[in-house]
Structure 1
Amino acid sequence: MGRECLPFIFLMLLPVALVWANPPTLNTISELRTIEFGHRFPRHGLHLLYFIAHQLVVDDDDVIIPTFVPDRGDWGFVPYSNLEGVFPPLKDYNRQGYYSAGSLNTSAESSLPPYVTQSYRYAPKHPEANRDRVVVRTRPNSQLLEALYITKYYPLGVCQSHQYDPKNTWQISPTLLREIHSYSANRVDGLSVFLFIAYYDVSSSYFNELCDYSDPSRDNNIDQVEDPSAQQPPNDYTAVNKRVTLNNSNNHIECYEILLEVKATDNGYARIRWSNIPDTLLDKGVQVNVCKEDGNCFISPIDMRSYGTYDSGEYLNKGLSPRLQFIDTKAEIMRGPTYDNTDRKLPVEIQGFDASFQVYTKDTLACAALFIKPNSGWMQKSSNSWVGLYSDHRSDSYIEWKWAKEFQCSQSIPYYDICTHCFGTAIKPGAQVRFFPSGSSSTVSMPWER
């Protein structure tokens, strides 16, 4: 390690030696409005907070119960060391931890809902496009959460890869989590209501030289005022009946309605779908290039059609990214959601086992993954367990099956052994994989909805 990095390391460790941070707590959406966290395009913090909040249950005793498992990597959560001392110290380093989610320039981006990653996909090179994070602290020896925080990430150069900004870090109280739920409960437009009430700045939504981004989260008749505190809470009409006027000045085009996505064909290959491409772009000559994680791309010709599909001969794998580009210059206009080979579904817990189960696809094939806690006695418990592939959820006859003990295992992530098997049959919409425990007819099953 070069001597030039020593001052940075000293500064990094100094907060730990002096004092641990105790971030201020936000208790209401009114308080959330007063901070800068994902309130302007292309920041994604409010979208991320809304999503994570809806993956939590807060009981009457303010206990925060997640429907996901952070240490398993659900929704892209990764362990966070807290070396900078941004958050309070852990009570038991062996039995609890900090986990961070929200990084959009890694493979974790594909597992998050498209509405969370949308701003990043529209402006991936913008310096503010990947700043926001949600951090959770688990309880000792428990998957329950002790605390949830929001924070801002920023790079520090070659000597330190990243750090969270203590001046832009806040704890989210159970009361605020309940309030987020209350504004969006049982509403199909809950996100738009929340963004409006939290004062997401639609006027900031301009994302490249060609397109204007117009987010339908506010009504164009609502007056914009300089001081957010002067605004009144919206009623149902202003919060729900909303639309932003198209801005076609200076030959700009509204690109918000454009849809680009990767789906599955019936034989497990990649199907590219697009719609709502404006005639102005078609006249300029555009195509959909789909790029893999290794950077190689293939072309989906759209033939001057504003909508359509293209069945490629490419294997359906994680990381495929559809991109609308000019034919001549290859200049990128926007991206669609990165394909997630798990259908954006979390593993399902297997009753009676310290393990969970997930369906995914690789190279067109239907596959299953088992997430197993080490030292759980899995081999003894599952000696007669098997996994079957079915054509759909109504079928009683499997296409293929495999003993669970014959899955190939490796410790790909901390705290879990991952055992996998790919069947010889292509994944297709409606396919289902079921887990049959030893000596029991009960099943754990998930239909493939692509």
Structure 2
Amino acid sequence: MKRSRAVLISCLLALAALSCVSAKTFLKLNTTNDLKRIYAEKKPTPDEHSVPLLYLLANDINIVNNNIYPNFDPTNDYGSHIYGNSDRTPLLDPTPQGCYYYTMGNYKLIKQPNTCSPFRKLPPYVCHPKGMNTNMNRARIVLCLSRETYRWRIHRVYLTQHYENWNTAAYDPARTFEVSPRLLRELQWFSLHSSLVGLKKLRDQYNRNIDNNQLNDIVKKWGGQNHAALALLLFLLNLFNRRMNRSYGSEPTSNWQSCALQDIYVDVVTGDNGYATIRWSGFSEKLRNDGAAIVLNNHKDRVYVFDKSDNSSGSLKNIVPLNEGLQVRLHKISLSHSWFWSRLTLEEEICRGEEFRSPDAVPITNYAKLQLFVRDGYSCFRLYIDNCSEWKSKFSNSWVALYASDTEYTSNYKSKQWQWVTKFKQRPDSGEFKIYEYCTGTMVAPGLQARFMIKDYNEELSFSWRS
């Protein structure tokens, strides 16, 4: 009996070590309602910048049966470093055997300045999120990690922050919380609904008091749909500062509205031979009877006006050469007639679709990424370099090429449609990246594929043009 008890105790101790169990307890956040409650009720108030950081973590992990596995290096990426838990009064219990504490979120931490660092930086929406007060770089996430055979496993997640008194580097236990896998999974749910239709579903699920005007403003002020789900989350948590909250009042602040929020769908897609095609659907009978002109704009310039459509859906092909920024807008119209002519006059705008954007850039390394984009209908490459003065020596034998489809052999690229990346032409910096470009003589088309060769025919990555 004694022997069996000893075995049982040994097993329990081993399990505790593998699970990074801590005797110290903190308020556990299980849902976004818990997150909202601590910002509304907790005194002192937690740092609002913890939410974008937590959102980043949630969207770069896999959760399998409540086991959390990072898709990044939790010991180096995103401003991470080992956490010694060595404050005068330690925040956490000592790490059990096989576990380590790491802290992430220090956006001022530059481990290897200008030397092509292999580590991921914190994205701008974490460092300087729109609609929030100045980021004082206090928010942190502490991870309790153990190393499995080929990967890290996260056993515990703690949301914390530095004291507001910068005379100490310690974390504030009064503003430290444990984060459950359930909350992380809910935050992942937000990122999966980043389209306007998805945002409407989230709005209806969490807060029906947010009207389409407010939702439209969220999308507009956050620069489109890419981060609109995070913006909606911050809005639901009441974490915009007062200036932004006033702008999200009952009165619309935008002079334009999204068509998708009115269940009208208009967009620009890739047509034939590098030309733009317009598509539309959801034109109600009332809209058709009242009359609405389909207008194609390029940023502020009107480039094409198509008369009103008598069909609820349709398309118009090969209008103008395809370019980034093309956008379909609907306008009310008035018609005047005489014996010899009739004139269509554009009146107020009804709504607009999304601006046409080339596919997102694809990472080559943590300091370089490559984009296939369109300019005047032609396929072009854009190389983004971040904090790496030696990139040309790193890519001295690297080249890119275009392929008719993803089924082509690596050597069967389009005739003369390739270039050494070191011969790309430098363009104005974006502020965050140095930019280099090369345009081919091939028109964009659905299925066209770009490939990056690190050396010879050693393919590093490939990606296709979407329609």
TM (normalized to structure 2)? 0.52
Q: Distance in 2 between matches of 1:186 and 1:98?
A: 18
Counterpart of 2:403 (choices 379, 390, 395) is: 390
**Structure 1, residues 265-305: CA drift from partner, whole Å, max 9, x if none?**
12111111001100101000101112112333421334312
CA contact (8 A) 1:347 1:357 kept: yes
Counterpart of 2:461 (choices 404, 420, 444) is: 444
Q: Distance in 2 between matches of 1:357 and 1:254?
A: 30
Counterpart residue number, 1:204: 211
TM-superposed CA distance for 1:407, in Å, is 0.8
Aligned positions of 1:290-369 closer than 5 A: 290-328=296-334, 329-340=346-357, 342-343=358-359, 345-350=360-365, 354-369=367-382
SS in 2 for 1:327: strand
Counterpart residue number, 1:283: 289
Relative to structure 1, the CA distance from residue 293 to residue 61 in structure 2 (aligned partners, 3 Å threshold; closer, same or farther) is same
Aligned positions of 1:41-440 closer than 5 A: 55-57=59-61, 65=72, 92=109, 99-100=124-125, 174-175=179-180, 177-181=183-187, 194-197=202-205, 199-201=206-208, 204-205=211-212, 256-328=262-334, 329-340=346-357, 342-343=358-359, 345-350=360-365, 354-396=367-409, 397-399=412-414, 400-410=417-427, 412-440=429-457
Q: Distance in 1 between matches of 2:299 and 2:53?
A: 27
TM-superposed CA distance for 1:375, in Å, is 3.8
TM-superposed CA distance for 1:363, in Å, is 0.9
SS in 2 for 1:283: helix
The answer to whether 1:28 aligns with 2:31 is: yes
Relative to structure 1, the CA distance from residue 372 to residue 265 in structure 2 (aligned partners, 3 Å threshold; closer, same or farther) is same
CA contact (8 A) 1:368 1:420 kept: yes
CA contact (8 A) 2:385 2:435 kept: yes
TM-superposed CA distance for 1:373, in Å, is 3.5
Letter in 1 for 2:34: E
SS in 2 for 1:412: coil
TM-superposed CA distance for 1:415, in Å, is 4.8
Letter in 2 for 1:346: A
CA contact (8 A) 1:367 1:421 kept: yes
Counterpart residue number, 2:83: none
CA contact (8 A) 1:355 1:372 kept: yes
CA contact (8 A) 2:297 2:328 kept: yes
Q: Distance in 1 between matches of 2:375 and 2:177?
A: 38
**Structure 1, residues 145-189: CA drift from partner, whole Å, max 9, x if none?**
99899xxxxxxxxxxxxxxxxxxxx99985475141576899999
**Structure 1, residues 351-391: CA drift from partner, whole Å, max 9, x if none?**
xx842211111110111111223445222232222211111
Q: Distance in 2 between matches of 1:178 and 1:443?
A: 32
Letter in 2 for 1:409: Q
Relative to structure 1, the CA distance from residue 438 to residue 261 in structure 2 (aligned partners, 3 Å threshold; closer, same or farther) is same
TM-superposed CA distance for 1:404, in Å, is 1.6
SS in 2 for 1:361: strand
Relative to structure 1, the CA distance from residue 331 to residue 309 in structure 2 (aligned partners, 3 Å threshold; closer, same or farther) is same
TM-superposed CA distance for 1:307, in Å, is 0.7
TM-superposed CA distance for 1:55, in Å, is 3.6
Relative to structure 1, the CA distance from residue 393 to residue 312 in structure 2 (aligned partners, 3 Å threshold; closer, same or farther) is same
Counterpart residue number, 2:48: none
Aligned length: 303
SS in 2 for 1:306: coil
Letter in 2 for 1:30: N
Q: Distance in 2 between matches of 1:66 and 1:289?
A: 47
Q: Distance in 2 between matches of 1:422 and 1:57?
A: 36
What is the Cα-based RMSD across aligned positions, in Å? 5.1
TM-superposed CA distance for 1:317, in Å, is 1.5
**Structure 1, residues 315-342: CA drift from partner, whole Å, max 9, x if none?**
21121221111122521111111111x2
Counterpart residue number, 2:152: none
SS in 2 for 1:356: strand
TM-superposed CA distance for 1:433, in Å, is 0.9
Unaligned runs of 5+ in 2: 1-26, 41-51, 80-104, 114-120, 141-156, 162-174, 216-235, 237-258, 335-345
Q: Distance in 2 between matches of 1:135 and 1:65?
A: 24
TM-superposed CA distance for 1:444, in Å, is 1.3
TM-superposed CA distance for 1:432, in Å, is 0.7
Q: Identity across aligned pairs (percent)?
A: 23
SS in 2 for 1:282: helix
